[in-house]
Chain A
Amino acid sequence: MSLAAEAFVSQIAAAEPWPENATLYQPLKEDQILLSDSASSLAVQTFLRMCGLPVLVSCRANAEYMSPSGKVPFIHVGNQVVSELGPIVQFTKAKGHSLSDGLDDVQRAEMKAYMELVNNMLLTAELYIQWCDDHTATEISRPRYSSPYSWPLNHILAYQKQWEVRRKMNAIGWSGKSLEQVYEDVSQCCQALSQRLGTQPYFFSKQPTELDALVFGHLFTILTTQLTNDELAEKVKSYTNLLSFCHRIEQTYFKEHERESQSGSSRHSKGSLP
């Protein structure tokens, strides 16, 4: 959206309170959604729960195409559609709900920097592992991504998505990296997050912010998703304070959800934390 349109949307957003029927759209949980999309979606859900805003999760096969920016998840609130965590945070701020109001300028700068670190390293690493590692792409990503479609559309869409992601990796210089280097980058990113978190309950001491939601979304998904091997999850597990951070947020914000969905854990996700 252009800047003028964004400002216009913010004004309209500020006018109405959060409705009861706000919906979040993501790809199908059982068969279709991939690690990176699942992480982004969980981050948004966690953020909205932290704000105390109700949202219904709706799974659609064509969620990616419905989204205004082509990325999932997106939320449908009132008569507006907003996608991706950054714009959603701004949107909820326009409606008067914000988690980071108590931070001063330096802390806000730090928070944004750490969010970029997660996006730059963790999300890119997830995309790399899913689409640039041939083994994972063939065994998991391509079959899952194209599962709702019939032949030959499933082949075309899967290869198109793979080509797109590989082009992007090329542009940012990740195509020359080997898988071990990517795992090493993930490990360094987790080390940075672990050191920043230290022994505090949340990244900015007592109150959770959107950074906590984002980190939880990615780490929880990495820990509970089954890939061809467990090396990614092992890298995260070696940092105990990150593990307890994920447990804590899961207990605080997803306890009722856990109790409801005890019987319905999907093939892709292992359900709850190990």
Chain B
Amino acid sequence: MAEPVELFCWGGGWDLPSVHTDSLVVLAYVKFSGAKLAVKSIDWTWRTITASVPQLHYEGTTVTEPTQILNFLRKQRFNADFELTAKQGADTMAYIALLEEKLRPTLLHTFWVDAENYANLTRPWFTSHSPFPLNFFVPGRQASLALSRILLTKAESPLLNITEVEGKIYSEAKECLNLLSHRLGNFHFFFGDTPTSLDAFVFGHIAPLFKAPLPSGQLQKHLNQLDNLCQFCNAILKNYFTDPPAEKRMDYG
């Protein structure tokens, strides 16, 4: 590629290269596939409110959304999935759908809607990583987006009350984590010994839950009981993200 490809993500924290699930998915895939691009964090810029993160810039075009970015990288021949069979590719799509439907609403709830976590962890982090005066708006906007997503997809109308949904989404998320644990079994990665896009997606969803110091984390406690998933996270962090994550600017290649 003649020009460098730029990736905009949320910055790192809590021992992770990024605290944002979608950004982590893309960063992990970049590492797995060996793609060379310049990772720029959007912390302390106006992009915190204008950009839909993660965002890939290449020769004037912009690609957003993890699945679109992964497709783009595959077309540029940075493919972590070329050894998969057709059936495994289909399984990947199915498990990603499972993560989106069952785990993501609960992750959104844990970080953005649960009052204790939001007030003590999420809001301070995002406030301190946004420029003035956006630090007043960014966390609140993310929180209201998260709440509306949970209510619109999971709540039974007309009872749009978050407390009734909570029990249901937490039990679904625990079941989802159990299913992932069963599927992973004793292997290092979901499809044998090399990581693929499914590993990137699972890592992106689980890692913030695993590493963040949540004051009230019933889902985190459940995750800690699933040893193979915890080892999976640690292995990826150790083998692929050994750079200290506290730097604001990471350039590759």
A residues neighboring B (CB under 8 Å): 2-3, 68-71, 105-106, 108-110, 112-114, 116-117, 119-121, 164, 167-168, 171-173, 188-189, 191-193, 195-196, 198
Contact = CB atoms under 8 A, between A and B. Distances in A.
A70 B87 CA distance: 36
A106 B186 CA distance: 12
B153 A172 contact: yes
Interface of B: 65, 86-87, 89-91, 93-95, 97-98, 100-102, 145, 148-149, 152-153, 156-158, 164, 167-168, 171, 179-180, 182-183, 185
Nearest to A193: B90
Given A70-B157, A113-B97, A113-B179, A196 B149 contact: no
A116 B102 contact: yes
A108 B185 CA distance: 14
Contacts of B86: 195
Contact of B167 (A2, A110, A188): A2
Contacts of B183: 106, 109-110
A116 B175 CA distance: 13
Nearest to A104: B182
A106 B149 contact: no
A69 B90 contact: no
B90 A106 contact: no
A114 B91 CA distance: 8
Among A105, A114, A117, A173, the one with the most B-chain Cβ atoms within 10 Å of its Cβ is A117
Contact of A189 (B93, B145, B148, B152): B93
Contact of B87 (A69, A120, A196): A196
Contact of B100 (A120, A168, A171): A120
A169 to B, nearest CB: 9
Nearest to B147: A171
Given A116-B94, A192-B94, A198-B87, A171 B167 contact: no
Contact of B65 (A3, A110, A173): A173
A67 to B, nearest CB: 9
B94 A113 contact: yes
Among B94, B100, B167, the one with the most A-chain Cβ atoms within 10 Å of its Cβ is B94
A156 to B, nearest CB: 15
A68 B101 CA distance: 21
Contacts of A110: 91, 94, 183
B153 A168 contact: yes
B168 to A, nearest CB: 7
